[in-house]
Amino acid sequence: MNENDVRTHTDINTHAPINTHTHTHIHIFRVYSREITLSCIKTEPGDCQREAKTEREKSLDASNRNHHVSIPNPPFLKTKKKKNNHFIHQLSTFVIHPLMFPLLNSPSRFKNYDVSPSRSSPFLGIVLSSFLLLSITPQRTEAAVSDAAKFSSNADFVHHNYDQMVALLDEVHSKCPDITLVYNPPGHSVEGRNLTVIEFSDDPGKHIAGEPEFKYVANMHGNEVVGREMLLQLAVYLCKQYKAGNETIQWLVDHTRIHLMPSMNPDGWELAHKHLKSTGREDWLIGRANANKVDLNRNFPDLNNIVYENEQTHGANNHLEKLAYALITPDLESETKTVMKWLSAYPFVLSANLHGGDLVANYPYDLTRSGKQKEYSISPDDATFRYLAESYAKNHKIMSSNHSTCGMANDQNFGIQDGITNGGDWYSVSRGMQDYNYLETNCFEITLELGCDKFPPASQLKKYWNDNKNALIAYMMQSHIGLKGFVLNSMTKEPINDATVKVLNMTDGQYINHDITSGHYGDYYRLMIDGFYEVEVTAKGYHPHTRCQRVQNKPLHEAVELNFELLSLHYPSQRNVQDILHCDQLRALARNQRNKVETEQEIYDQLLNDISDYFNRKRRTA
């Protein structure tokens, strides 16, 4: 939030929680730009039950439970047992009314429809709308969930100080030791507090090549506390639901390495809480900055201006500054350096930064190119970022609806624009963490404003949780969109790290001017929306390799795997005929798809024109 905004107290619209039967499984999904009704048949009573998880090995030694835990052998040396896709059901019917295609073709026009199962209890009602996942009810009763992992009163909806926060993370680990790890990234706050993280994984403490890594960061502004409490509740929820047999949570944890940092600015929180306790009221600015009175979201290296200059000279478009050089940037705060080193140590794929003071999902770029305070600042992955932002906003109870504004100067009702905004189109921010993630690492990050009140009463925290729970889960699922794979030496099958992955959108024929790189074990992850793509991989000392792939993101499925084997320059270049033919086929499909979309848009536009002409004639004859 802009520290210069003047705020008045305005309540957020309330929504009553939806009552569901604990044994009824209502699965709601969203897929980009189309609404689809799907029925799923359970042929046997156990079809929708997750297979029993094999007994895990003993907990890792305490000496291994830190950020230095080694990464296991790459998959071609030591493979991880392929996980069962236990959410695949026998599918019955797809129902898409053809008259809806012109309307639904525009992502900004889709809406949710009430769809009932076509039959009684043997069927599961599934709604596919615009994103991967909205919610799945747990398979056990609340009593069973409670018995699975009973927590102390410290897990209640209360404001947690630093010691209570760390104690709760440790308690979550004690309840779920097989899937969690609590660690402290190297570094600390100005006043010496750790930026503690809890990790969720089916093999905690290790990077599994082929599995994406996700992170949530909250409380960057110390007086914006809702995100901090949401991540603590999320940690408790993931532990409870995993032990209770919630298929969605088990799939997510088994296929994703999740990192939660509830407080990036613990010193600021203590200051804000002290002021609130002594005066009985919150302050818009006290505690926002760190102990040195520096706004951490204006404290990262300025990479935007570098990439804006490189756009004109066709220079580098990512990984713009070596960490060693970045860390000597003048005026970097201790918390900023800690997070920068953390980002360098883990191959994060997707992230969100949780703030407070408004209700919107904000996506890159934050800094305008012209220097204006407000203008749309498009990134090369604008379509994907819009999709990611909408995946949160649409699954939040009210973010994408026409809700009350926060009463600030120049306030906007973001609900009328689907609950999302481009950062520069809201207000320009220099040296922010969101754009730093995108321009320095392989990680895509958005910024989430979770509500008008920065430090609400504890009595309101449960409502905030109910509003955000499904969105928090749905957004983590987006780690599995697009492409992933391995880059290997074609002769030795050894991994090639730091290979460059460049993507061309075959539908519009334009390169996405943002490259990502392969990791230590040759694994790469490229978030993308549905479409046809040509992917070129290059590495020093190797011939380039180009392959083509259609991406069709599906709920509770891992990203499409597309592997590359590069031939050393010591050998003559060889063209793979099969890859060439496949690319030709996909180019033809992409052209057909483009023509189809254009035709549907023409039909829709003509329909609007006809309606407009009709009412104009009515007015003239009236």
Active-site residue numbers?
Answer: 449
Omega prior to 113 cis, within 30 of 0? no
Nearest by Cα to 475 from 262, 195, 256: 256
For the chain, the farthest-separated pair of C-alpha atoms sits apart, in whole angstroms, at 84
Give the whole-angstrom CA distance, residue 74 versus residue 125.
Answer: 40
Residue 470, H or E segment = helix 461-477
Find where tokens 């390169």 sit: 511
> How far from 114 is each of 50, 125, 127, 137, 151, CA to CA, in Å?
27, 10, 8, 17, 36
Ramachandran sector of residue 371 (left: φ over 0; alpha: ψ -120 to 50; beta: rest) = left
Nearest by Cα to 159 from 406, 464, 466, 392: 464
What is the residue type of 236? Answer: V
Q: What 3-state class would DSSP assign to 85?
A: coil
- Within 10 A of 245 (CB to CB), how many other CB atoms are there? 18
Give the whole-angstrom CA distance, residue 543 versus residue 247.
Answer: 43
Per-residue 3-state assignment (H helix, E strand, C coil) for 110-129: CCCCCCCCCCCCCEEEEEEE
Nearest by Cα to 140 from 48, 254, 252: 48
Residue 415 has phi, psi (to 5 degrees) of: -60, -30
CB 332 within 8 A of CB 292: no
Give the whole-angstrom CA distance, residue 195 versus residue 231.
Answer: 13
Any idea what DSSP says for residue 207? -
What is the residue type of 197? Answer: V
Q: Who's near 520: CB < 8 A, 6+ residues apart?
A: 71, 347, 495, 497
Nearest by Cα to 33 from 418, 446, 586, 535: 418
Give the whole-angstrom CA distance, residue 217 versus residue 608.
Answer: 44
